[in-house]
Amino acid sequence: MTSSSPLPRTPLPTALITGASRGIGRAIADELATTHHLLLGGRDRSELEALASSYPSAEPFAVDVRQVAEADVAGIESLDVLVHSAGVLRMGAVADLDDDAWRESFEINVFAVARLTRLLLPALRRAGGQVIAINSGSGFTSGSSSAVYSGTKFALRALTDALREEERPHGVRVCSIHPGRVATDMQRELHEYEGKDYNPGAWIQPEQVAKTVRLAVDASREAAVESLNIRPSGIRTAGMA
Ligand SMILES: NC(=O)c1ccc[n+]([C@@H]2O[C@H](COP(=O)([O-])OP(=O)(O)OC[C@H]3O[C@@H](n4cnc5c(N)ncnc54)[C@H](OP(=O)(O)O)[C@@H]3O)[C@@H](O)[C@H]2O)c1
């Protein structure tokens, strides 16, 4: 190489983010786009292609998380970050919730996380990567109308707590992030269910959750951000109506 030759380009680390099409996952994609090649999870391929073209280095990972199969991850040899943000919120009393509500919530919020993680563990181990689950305050407490949602998030915490210990010897770190209410479509739907006016400025902005993901991603290898709570401060701010 002569002194005027360009330096060989170091390939970017890769991050796969489920639920990258909207809300918290989208903010995480915005945050990691400056440092990572992104695989953008969601269901609408053309929407994800448009989003990918807005980032320096990104491509769609268009699949319903309930149907992820080996073929979907076949090309992923090495993975530095796997963020599970895809999720659903079903509210209702145990007296009213039918089997489908229970099944769909557990399939998306828990079973799909387990399957995608399992399929990608070889790539994560190869990279010494991290698994980051967007859990919830509901991963610690339950209450009226929250049996299904909290049930899935308790189960997700059980999954990540086990995975963290299992993968330590393989060099894979596992982080569980527990936000309180965040201003996204999911929060709007929750307000509709509660019959309350929705004021996005009153709740955590998705970018703030993305910064907690950045904290975990940037931790050097001797350190692991294992569990992190981010709550609405309750302090009135300029964005509040
Ligand atoms: N918002 C809150 O207050 C809050 C608080 C604590 C924790 N969380 C958690 O944070 C995560 C993200 O929530 P959010 O508020 O960003 O939700 P959101 O705005 O409703 O977005 C949900 C995301 O999940 C994806 N998704 C849903 N079902 C899917 C499926 N079957 N296959 C593939 N993707 C699917 C959606 O993709 P499509 O665009 O394809 O539908 C979308 O990208 C969830 O796990 C949620 O439980 C949210």
Across the range 126-143, mean pLDDT stands at 98
Q: Give me the torsion for CA of 94, 146, 109, 39, rounded to 10°.
A: 150
Domain count, the chain: 1
Across the range 87-113, mean pLDDT stands at 98
CA separation for the pair 109, 122 (Å, rounded)? 22
**Measuring CA to CA, which residue among 151, 150, 109 is closest to residue 133?**
109
> Quick check: is 6 in a domain?
no
- In our burial notation (b when 16+ CB lie closer than 10 A, e otherwise), range 165-178 reads eebeeeebbbbbbb
> Quick check: is 146 in a domain?
yes
**Measuring CA to CA, which residue among 58, 50, 83, 42 is closest to residue 185?**
42
Catalytically active residues are 149
53 alpha-carbon distance from chain centroid: 21
**Which residue of 39, 113, 175, 182 sits with most ligand 1 atoms within 8 Å of its CB, as the best mutation to test the pocket?**
182
Q: Give me the torsion for CA of 230, 171, 78, 178, rounded to 10°.
A: -10
Domain assignment of residue 144, given as a range: 14-229
**Which residue of 113, 134, 176, 193 sits with most ligand 1 atoms within 8 Å of its CB, as the best mutation to test the pocket?**
134
> Quick check: is 9 in a domain?
no
> Quick check: is 3 in a domain?
no
Identify the residue whose C-alpha is closest to ligand 1 atom 8. Answer: 136
> Quick check: is 203 in a domain?
yes
Look at residue 237 in the predicted model and tell me its pLDDT.
Answer: 75
**Measuring CA to CA, which residue among 196, 215, 154, 189 is closest to residue 23?**
189
134 has a pLDDT exceeding 50: yes
- The CATH number of residue 180's host domain is 3.40.50.720
> Quick check: is 57 in a domain?
yes
- For residues 184 and 8, the answer to whether their CB atoms sit within 8 Å is no
- In our burial notation (b when 16+ CB lie closer than 10 A, e otherwise), range 204-230 reads bbbebbbebbeebbeeeeeebbebbeb
> Quick check: is 190 in a domain?
yes
> Quick check: is 236 in a domain?
no
Query: Helix or strand or coil: residue 136?
Result: coil
Look at residue 1 in the predicted model and tell me its pLDDT.
Answer: 43
9 has a pLDDT exceeding 90: no
pLDDT band at 239 (very low <50, low <70, confident <90, very high): low
**Which residue of 48, 85, 199 sits with most ligand 1 atoms within 8 Å of its CB, as the best mutation to test the pocket?**
85
Look at residue 2 in the predicted model and tell me its pLDDT.
Answer: 46
pLDDT band at 6 (very low <50, low <70, confident <90, very high): low
Residue 157 half-sphere exposure, CB side, CA atoms within 13 Å? 17
pLDDT tens-digit profile of 171-230? 999 999 999 999 999 999 999 999 999 999 999 999 999 999 999 999 999 999 999 999
Closest ligand 1 atom to the C-alpha of 22? 43
Identify the residue whose C-alpha is closest to ligand 1 atom 7. Answer: 136
Verdict on whether the full-model pTM lies above 0.85: yes
Across the range 153-168, mean pLDDT stands at 99
Across the range 3-22, mean pLDDT stands at 83
**Measuring CA to CA, which residue among 228, 221, 218, 222 is closest to residue 32?**
218
Ligand 1 cavity residues, CB under 6 Å: 19, 21-25, 42-44, 64-66, 85-88, 108, 134, 136, 179, 181-182, 184-187
Comparing 7 with 92, the larger pLDDT belongs to: 92
pLDDT tens-digit profile of 51-89? 999 999 999 999 999 999 999 999 999 999 999 999 999
CA separation for the pair 97, 229 (Å, rounded)? 29
